[in-house]
């Protein structure tokens, strides 16, 4: 599997700058450089990486485009609808002005809505992923590095979290929790409160996998001599956990991040479908999909747009996660 | 006697204060380290103990060096780790500069962390791969808040120069260095706090043979220049001989023989030490055309979970008799600076036929309690060496 050229490419002549002459001309590549080289070689990962970047750029640009009036996700177009409030013209009313047609019912531009919807969907799932990863990493490091009863307690909390019927909880608690968020925390009612609720719930239930992976890594890291060396120097626990151990965990963290994110994109869509997440008229991919389902037979383009966008981002993120994992861990998988 | 303690220091090293032998920087007294073995399942009961270190006593003089040798799994690394307080000892005392640090809590231990540092065996895992050399070597200063942040760099560069690395390389990562260079970085880190005692846990055994000498010489220079005391743990007898004026030989968690370099290498009295030494290739011997006879030990090291009764070496010892199973041989002082733990102590080929220790322990030659022998003799059990010793040939106490 390892070819000669691949072996050679592990050693490259590097420009060592002014003091180069007295140094060795051949420097070994760092593990990071090797991983990047492997990643670049993997076409599928590169394609999915480009798609993911494209999504994020679109999500970042959308608010400005809405402000500039290029996207009009809230403007209704009654004149483009027929008597049954279905779009006039073929394929959901596709035209130059409305490349993905208009929405049945009120006639808003579908492209503007899904584009703006990406922004909210990604913002929510990204925040939830960050929350889950932060909780998971801290819990995993503390659990793995301290061991003993702390490890046991965190392990039981993970079991408990996994055993929780979270979807039911989410639905049942939503009104109570929303009231708490608006009244006690002072978050504006409506979309901000609902978004926060979804982020917190996804984060609070999604950290377990991260914690387990991180804990496993820490168990092997803490036996390395550099950890002992830091202990000998009198390093505090905080320093030990977050300065010595944490920097060695970024590879598994990156992998879990890219694998959790797509799960949260679809989870957010499912929650929006159940009516827990942000409500229309503010678009998210999930609530557009929910709305479009009632028109699935009469207006396929409208139904197809959000579904397709969700599918693409989820698949791309998953492939990206696989690619990152393969690049960082050349021995496993395949 | 003082001069004999630190002969490598030479007469001209005026920087090193030649302290009397009675003032050790480190004194380890009856140190024990047992690791519990837990049963599986929900209630994890302790079902036994690995007796990794079981009653070890020795001294390291100020600015001196003690070599700790023995085969794999004999507890020499554990001893080092207990002394640096990576582990909390099960029993015994670790007196550093006169204070027992064996039972100190982590917070109370912090000031001592500056004085006792460690050089690790594997330079590939002892440096954090995600930190630059500068932050690795500067970490001790940052942790102990010793110098302002701006001065850390200059101190780091100074240390890099001391260990023979390019001071401009502080911004590089460990993977950009070779094994020997990494070990130098590890040494620089250990030196940052200007410790009084360095525990070197097989500092050269992971290195290429051509590099070993460089690193050992570096350690020797450091010892001379800064007057650091060394506890040098190794299994390479040649390296230890080069480095340490005093040597302790460990077997299965106990010291079997301890003494001055020449006493150990030329006049070893314990059969285990003799077997160990016979395994060292000898160039001089090869040059005169002969090969020393090797003493082959049969079998494996017994389990430290359930060590043999009496003398722990008896299961593999060519001299073992009944008394060895019944009575544990005391670590008996047999010379000015030489102790050995064997019932049949004697130089190779001159082992006595009757146990030398029987009368001291108040037992007969088979190790059974002997009412006629009188009470057991009060033996010197302190970590250091006494002024009087037991002459194994004359079987009596001797004063110098």
- A103-107, B92-96, B204-208 — which one is most confidently predicted on average? B92-96
Domain identity same for B175 and B265: no
Contact B337, B1 (CB under 8 A): yes
- Are A232 and B143 in contact (CB < 8 Å)? no
Return d(Cα B247, Cα B263) in angstroms, integer: 9
B164 with B291, same domain: the answer is no
A126 occurs within a structural domain? yes
Integer-rounded Cα radius of gyration of chain B: 22
Question: Strands A26-28 and A11-13: what pairing?
Answer: antiparallel
Q: Is B335 part of any domain?
A: yes
Q: Is the ipTM of this complex over 0.85?
A: no
Assigned domain for B222 exists: yes
Q: Is residue A30 part of a domain?
A: no
Interface contact B120-A229, CB threshold 8 A: yes
- Residue A331 is predicted with a pLDDT of 59
Q: Are B214 and B286 found together in one domain?
A: no
Nearest to A110 by CA among A93, A85, A90: A93
Q: Is B105 exposed, middle or buried (0-12, 13-18, 19+ CB in 10 A)?
A: exposed
Q: Which residues contact A108 (CB under 8 A, 6 or more apart)?
A: A72, A73, A74, A75, A76, A77, A102
Given a cut of 70, is residue B375 above it in pLDDT? no
Q: Do B234 and B364 share a structural domain?
A: no
Selecting from A31, A228, A239 the residue whose C-beta is nearest the C-beta of B86 gives: A228
Q: Which residue range(s) make up the domain with A280? A: 48-328
Q: Is the dihedral of CA B371, B373, B375, B381 positive or negative?
A: negative
CB pairs under 8 A between A and B: 65
Q: How close does chain B come to A137, measured CA to CA in Å?
A: 17
pLDDT higher than threshold 80 for residue B137: yes
Residues from chain A that touch B118, judged by Cβ atoms under 8 A, are: 228-229, 232
Q: Give the pLDDT score at B156.
A: 92
- In the predicted structure, residue A26 carries a pLDDT above the cut 80: no
A178-191: average pLDDT: 79
How many angstroms separate the CA of residue A234 from the nearest CA in chain B? 6
Q: Which residues of B touch A230 (CB under 8 A)?
A: 128, 139
DSSP state of B397: E
- Residue B95 pLDDT: 92
B116: containing domain: 24-37+48-244
Phi, psi of A280 (to 5 degrees): -65, 155
Q: Higher confidence at residue B40 or residue A117?
A: A117
A76 domain residue, yes or no: yes
DSSP symbol at B75 = S
- Alpha-carbon distance of B88 to B78, in angstroms, equals 11
The pLDDT value given to residue B374:
65
Sign of CA dihedral B331, B18, B216, B97: positive
Task: Check: CB of residue B229 under 8 Å from CB of residue B197.
Answer: yes
The pLDDT assigned to A140 comes to 94
Residue B291 banded pLDDT, cuts 50, 70, 90: low
- Report pLDDT digits (tens) over A191-227: 888 888 889 888 988 899 999 999 999 999 988 889 9
B197 and B322 belong to one structural domain = no
Specify if A181 maps to a domain: yes
Distance (Å) of CA A333 to CA A326, A327, A328: 7, 10, 11
- Collapsed DSSP state (helix, strand, coil) of residue A163: helix
Q: Do B109 and A235 touch (CB under 8 A)?
A: no
Instruction: Please indicate, yes or no, whether residues B282 and B237 belong to a single structural domain of this protein.
Output: no
Residue B253 is assigned to a structural domain of this protein: no
- Is residue B119 pLDDT above 90, yes or no? yes
| Structure-model confidence comparison of residues B309 and A187, the more confident one | B309
Length of chain A as a residue count: 334
How much is the pLDDT for A20?
42
State the burial class of residue A147 (Cβ atoms within 10 Å of its Cβ: 0-12, 13-18, 19+): middle
On the question of pLDDT at A24 being above 70, the answer is no
Does some domain include residue B1? no
pLDDT at A332 over 60: no
Select the residue of B122, B126, B144 nearest A234 (Cβ to Cβ). Answer: B144
Residue B266 sits in the same domain as residue B199: no
DSSP H/E element including B197? strand B197-201
Cβ separation of A234 and B113 shorter than 8 Å?
A: yes
pLDDT score, position B57: 92
Q: Which residues of A touch B144 (CB under 8 A)?
A: 233-234
**What's the confidence (pLDDT) of residue A46?**
92
Residue-level pLDDT at A93: 67
pLDDT confidence band for A10 (50 / 70 / 90): very low
Confidence band (pLDDT; 50, 70, 90) for A158? Answer: very high
In a domain, B42, yes or no: no
If asked whether residues B154 and B228 sit together in one domain, one would say yes
pLDDT (tens digit per residue) in A262-317: 889 888 888 888 878 788 788 888 888 888 888 877 777 788 888 888 889 889 98
Q: Is the predicted pLDDT of residue B33 greater than 90, yes or no?
A: yes
Query: CATH number of the domain that B76 lies in?
Result: 3.40.50.300
CA closest to A234 among chain B residues:
B110
* C-alpha–C-alpha distance, residues A119 and B386, integer Å: 82
CB contact under 8 A, A234 and B143: yes
- Same domain for B220 and B272, yes or no, is no
Within a domain: B13 = no
* DSSP per-residue codes, B38-67: E-SSSS--EEEEEEEEEEEEEEEETT-EEE
Number of domains chain A is built from: 1
- Residue B6 near residue B63 (C-beta atoms within 8 A): yes
Q: Can the peptide bond before residue B222 be classed as cis, meaning omega within 30 degrees of 0?
A: no
Q: Which of B120, B124, B104 is nearest to B112 (CA)?
A: B104
What's the structural domain count of chain B? 2
CATH of the domain at A146: 1.10.3720.10
Q: What percent of chain A has pLDDT over 70?
A: 87
Supply the pLDDT for residue B399. 67
Residue of A19, A30, A232 with shortest CB distance to B173: A30
Average pLDDT over residues B332-348: 89
Q: Which residue of chain A has the CA closest to B198?
A: A232
Instruction: Please provide the average confidence, as pLDDT, over all residues in chain A.
Output: 81
Residue A162: count of CB within 10 angstroms of its CB: 12
- State whether B237 and B100 are in the same domain: yes
User: Which of B202, B219, B244 finishes a domain?
Assistant: B244
Smallest Cα distance from B301 to chain A, Å: 25
For chain B, list residues whose CB is within 8 angstroms of any CB belonging to chain A.
81, 84, 86, 109-110, 113-114, 116-118, 120-122, 125-131, 139-140, 143-144, 166, 168, 173, 175-176, 186, 189, 193
Q: Is-above-0.90 flag for pTM?
A: no
Res B11: pLDDT: 36
Final residue belonging to a domain, choices B193, B216, B244: B244
Instruction: List B118's β-bridge partners, or say none.
Output: B199
Assess whether pLDDT exceeds 50 at residue B361.
yes
The reply to whether B264 and B237 lie within a common domain is no
**Do residues B310 and B358 share a domain?**
yes
Q: Which of B244, B279, B309 is the last residue of a domain?
A: B244
**Chain A residues whose beta carbon lies within 8 Å of the beta carbon of residue B140:** 233
**What distance in Å separates the CA atoms of residue B179 and residue B197, rounded to the nearest whole number?**
24
The reply to whether residue A224 touches residue B125, judged by beta carbons under 8 angstroms, is yes
Inter-chain residue contact A248 with B130, CB threshold 8 Å: yes
- Let me know if residue A324 belongs to a domain: yes
Q: How far is B139 from chain A (nearest CA, A)?
A: 8
- All residues at 6 or more sequence positions from A301 whose CB lies less than 8 Å from its CB, including other chains: A91, A92, A94, A100, A101, A110
């Amino acid at each position: 599997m390892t070819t000669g050229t691949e072996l050679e490419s592990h050693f490259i002549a590097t420009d060592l700058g002014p003091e180069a002459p007295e140094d060795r001309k051949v420097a070994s590549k760092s593990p990071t450089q090797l991983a990047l080289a492997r990643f670049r070689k993997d076409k599928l990962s590169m394609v999915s990486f480009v798609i993911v970047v494209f999504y994020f750029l679109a999500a970042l640009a959308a608010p400005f485009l809405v402000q500039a009036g290029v996207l009009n996700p809230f403007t209704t177009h009654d004149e483009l609808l027929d008597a049954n409030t279905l779009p006039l013209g073929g394929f959901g009313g596709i035209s130059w002005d409305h490349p993905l047609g208009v929405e049945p019912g009120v006639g808003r531009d579908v492209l503007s809505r899904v584009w703006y919807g990406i922004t909210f969907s990604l913002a929510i799932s990204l925040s939830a992923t960050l929350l889950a990863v932060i909780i998971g990493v801290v819990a995993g490091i503390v659990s793995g590095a301290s061991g003993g009863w702390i490890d046991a307690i965190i392990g039981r909390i993970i079991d408990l979290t996994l055993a929780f019927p979270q979807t039911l909880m989410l639905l049942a608690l939503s009104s109570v929790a929303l009231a708490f968020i608006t009244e006690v925390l002072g978050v504006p009612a409506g979309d901000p409160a609902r978004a926060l609720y979804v982020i917190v719930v996804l984060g609070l239930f999604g950290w377990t996998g991260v914690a387990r992976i991180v804990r496993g890594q820490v168990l092997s890291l803490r036996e390395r001599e550099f950890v002992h060396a830091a202990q000998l120097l009198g390093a505090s626990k905080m320093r030990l956990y977050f300065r010595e151990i944490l920097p060695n965990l970024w590879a598994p963290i990156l992998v879990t991040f890219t694998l959790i994110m797509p799960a949260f994109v679809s989870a957010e869509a499912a929650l929006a479908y159940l009516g827990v997440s942000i409500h229309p008229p503010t678009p998210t991919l999930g609530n557009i999909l929910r709305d479009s389902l009632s028109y699935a037979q009469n207006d396929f383009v409208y139904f197809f747009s959000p579904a397709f966008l969700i599918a693409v981002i989820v698949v791309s993120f998953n492939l990206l996660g696989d690619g990152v994992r393969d690049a960082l861990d050349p021995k496993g998988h395949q | 006697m003082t001069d004999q303690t630190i002969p490598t220091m030479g007469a001209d090293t005026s920087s090193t204060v030649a302290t009397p032998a009675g003032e050790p920087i480190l004194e380890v007294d009856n140190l024990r380290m047992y690791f519990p073995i837990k049963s599986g399942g929900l209630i994890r009961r302790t079902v036994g103990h690995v007796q990794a270190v079981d009653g070890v006593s020795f001294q390291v003089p100020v600015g001196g060096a003690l070599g700790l040798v023995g085969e794999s799994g004999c507890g020499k690394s554990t001893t080092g780790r207990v002394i640096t307080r990576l582990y909390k000892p099960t029993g015994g005392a670790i007196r550093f500069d006169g204070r027992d640090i064996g039972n100190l809590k982590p917070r109370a231990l912090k000031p001592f962390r500056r004085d006792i540092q460690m050089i690790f065996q594997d330079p590939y895992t002892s440096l954090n791969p995600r930190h630059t050399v500068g932050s690795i070597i500067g970490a001790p200063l940052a942790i102990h808040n010793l110098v302002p942040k701006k001065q850390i760099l200059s101190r780091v560069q100074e240390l890099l120069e001391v260990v023979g690395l390019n001071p401009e390389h502080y911004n590089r990562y460990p993977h950009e260095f070779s094994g020997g260079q990494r070990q130098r970085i590890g040494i620089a880190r250990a030196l940052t706090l200007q410790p009084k005692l360095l525990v070197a846990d097989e500092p050269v055994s992971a290195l290429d043979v051509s590099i070993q000498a460089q690193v050992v010489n570096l350690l020797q220079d450091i010892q001379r220049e800064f007057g650091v005391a060394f506890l040098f743990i190794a299994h390479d007898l040649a390296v230890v001989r080069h480095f340490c004026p005093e040597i302790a030989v460990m077997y299965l968690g106990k010291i079997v023989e301890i003494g001055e370099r020449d006493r150990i290498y030329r006049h070893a009295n314990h059969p285990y030490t003799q077997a160990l030494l016979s395994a060292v290739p000898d160039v001089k011997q090869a040059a005169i055309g002969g090969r020393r006879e090797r003493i082959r030990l049969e079998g494996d090291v017994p389990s430290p979970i359930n060590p043999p009764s009496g003398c722990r070496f008896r299961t593999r010892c060519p001299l073992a008799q009944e008394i060895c199973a019944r009575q544990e041989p005391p670590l008996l002082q047999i010379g000015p600076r030489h102790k050995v733990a064997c019932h049949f102590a004697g130089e190779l080929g001159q082992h006595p036929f009757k146990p030398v220790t029987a009368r001291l322990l108040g037992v007969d030659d088979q190790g059974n309690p002997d009412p006629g022998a009188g009470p057991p003799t009060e033996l010197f059990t302190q970590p250091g060496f006494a002024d009087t010793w037991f002459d194994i040939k004359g079987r009596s106490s001797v004063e110098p």
